[in-house]
Amino acid sequence: MYKKLSNKLGALLIKSAFFLISLILFAQNIYSQYLIRDSEREFDFKNNTHKVSSILLDSLVISKKDTVVSFQMKKSPWKSVLYSAILPGLGQFYNESYWKVPIILTIGGYLGYVVVKNHNKFLDYRDQYANSQTPENPEGDLRLRSYREFYRDQRDQFLLYFAFYYLITLVDAYVDAHLYDFDVSESIKFTISPPKKFFRISISF
């Protein structure tokens, strides 16, 4: 019985390690994309400022007031973080990243389900172990005690996973709000022009 329990514990620990690594890689990917987009935004803003200055210099109208070019974000990053803090996925919905909402809700629902399930198992075996302790046998049923400890560890472990998941949703909502004003999609044009002998296919980006 103890051997089977240890094997199950080892398998769950391996699965948990893979899950944690996936979350960390996902967070690093989001952070790297944010750094790239932030540098591109700064470069585009400088170019736009230079173009505006050139137009003002070439204009025949001389203005005595300084012209200030400001960038106004359409989505508030901190508002999206607040929405995600209230309910994971709500900040992504505010940022109009609708495809992320079912993914976030599914992961959060799964983690919450596992936490509640392990907590209920822990309470059940805790009571069973307490009932097994008698004056003649103060140690109680050791098998029940091992189950109690196992499910308590599982509950705490998945609570930690849920905390990482919750933090990642906040970071994603914040970064997503920053990227909302920038169109990163590519314009792809697919044409087929039939010449006299052969077909020609061209793809332009």
pLDDT, tens digit, 9 for 90 and up, residues 101-155: 999 999 999 999 999 999 999 999 999 999 988 888 888 888 999 999 999 999 9
> pTM for the complete prediction?
0.55
- Residue 133's region, left for phi above 0, alpha for psi from -120 to 50, else beta, is beta
Q: Give percent above pLDDT 70 in the chain.
A: 54
Rounded-to-integer distance, Cα 63 and Cα 66, Å: 8
- Element holding 201 (H helix, E strand): strand 200-204
Closest to 142 (Cα-Cα) out of 122, 124, 128: 128
